[in-house]
Structure 1
Amino acid sequence: MVCGGFTCSKNSLCVLNLLYIMVSLLLIGVAAWGIGFGLVSSLRVVGVAVAVGILLFLIALVGLIGAIKHHQVLLFFYMIILFLVFVVQFSVSCASLALNSDQQKQLLEVGWNHTNGAHTDIERSLNCCGFKTYSQNDTCGATCTQGCHPCGPIIEKHAEEVLRVVGGIGFFFSFTEILGVWLTYRYRNQKDPRANPSAFL
């Protein structure tokens, strides 16, 4: 059967959803690994990673069940949710690729001020104290005792590269999502050749 047929669309959709399931399990596993080895002690950071992984897992599971059973309602909701995820992910990826250095500095400072639980992890891993300035009265998770450098310049040095990588990966996966929307739309409108020809589609 040619690749435009019912079976090929079904198999392609199943493979795409299995890929999403593997990515979601990887995301949950990396978060658990990070907290298990003491790399991340902030439960909020781990909670966000696990929540995103579970959400992706559930979306992929709905798509996989809908593709296997050719269930019209599940496929419809899967298509709508996947399109919304595509819009959000595409927008965030474009924004992260378009940030200039001043915007990156402002974003990093806002992030630093709103993630008090992660300060100790960052200071310990980068061996620095504070964001822009550090006084001896402040608590610090780094091992340096005197002459500690602020964390801001160290983070800023790597932020541009990280934003480019994250933006590029998000940009790539956003196109797999729009491919999933197109495959789902096409698959929903195809009739199963093994079904009763007089059955309602």
Structure 2
Amino acid sequence: MDTKVANENIDRRNNNTAFTMVCGGFTCSKNSLCALNILYVMVSLLMIGIAAWGKWFGLISSFQVVGGVIGVGIFLFLVAVVGLIGALKHHQVLLFFYMIILFMVFVVQFSVSTACLALNKEQQNHLLEVGWNTSDTTQRDVENSLDCCGFSSVNYNETCNAPCFYNSSCVSCVSKIQVHTEEVLRFVGGIGLFFSFSEILGVWLTYRYRNQKDPRANPSAFL
């Protein structure tokens, strides 16, 4: 009778261990972390590809904008590779630095996203004017794409690359930019919030995964 009870207890423990490994244990955490970092790799490559494509076909002539997008894509790619290697090898040091970097990215991205969603009209106009005065290349891109001249007023004594300039029928660019500004800010803020929550999920998965024991490893090995 005692032997039968002991065997039942052993079977129950084995079933619980298998369930934990599949649904909430080491294997599940590892696979989830790998999947999350593969998603980050795909997003980073997409950002780099879109920026290069826009520059190649002349859709974006500002090198600062293209360089900034490519730089963010490369940074995200490197962080994702570190997380992926750390997850595959259960490397404690790589997972620690990955967790810290991902948390800092979450703080910055969450702050920027909430700021984009909370900006009022006056703040939007101020930021648009600052961006307009920063780069002459950006001004030319906006004037060509929106067929407008000047930021807040049209001055026909200056040069302008917009087609309407030669017909003396231009309007200021701020009036056309404002039509799309709120939609763009909501889109950017929403996407940023979505990825910021995925980043905090990655931090939680990494913290959990670092403190789990590999069932295939030596039971007396150091974590």
Say yes or no: TM over 0.5.
yes
- Root-mean-square deviation (Å): 0.9
**Paired position in structure 1 for 2:57:** 37
Whether 1:141 aligns to 2:155 is no
Which of 151, 154, 173 lines up with 2:195 in the alignment? 173
Q: Deviations over 1:162-186 (max 9, x none)?
A: 1011101101110000000000000
**Paired position in structure 1 for 2:33:** 13
Which of 46, 62, 81 lines up with 2:82 in the alignment? 62
Describe how 1:107-126 pairs up with structure 2 within 5 A. Answer: 107-126=127-146
Give the structure-2-normalised TM-score: 0.88
Partners in 2 of 1:33 and 1:138 — Cα distance? 32
Which of 86, 96, 108 lines up with 2:116 in the alignment? 96
Question: What secondary structure is seen at the aligned counterpart in 2 of 1:85?
Answer: helix
Partners in 1 of 2:94 and 2:161 — Cα distance? 48
Shift of 1:134: 2.1
Partners in 2 of 1:140 and 1:21 — Cα distance? 41
Q: Which runs of 5+ in 1 are unaligned?
A: none
Shift of 1:93: 0.5
Whether 1:188 aligns to 2:210 is yes
Partners in 2 of 1:185 and 1:54 — Cα distance? 24
Partners in 1 of 2:78 and 2:153 — Cα distance? 44
**Paired position in structure 1 for 2:17:** none
Partners in 2 of 1:166 and 1:147 — Cα distance? 32
Partners in 2 of 1:135 and 1:109 — Cα distance? 16
| Higher mean C-alpha deviation, range 131-140 or range 98-107 | 131-140
Give the structure-1-normalised TM-score: 0.97
Partners in 2 of 1:189 and 1:53 — Cα distance? 30
**Paired position in structure 1 for 2:7:** none
Larger radius of gyration: 2
Give the structure with the higher percent helix: 2
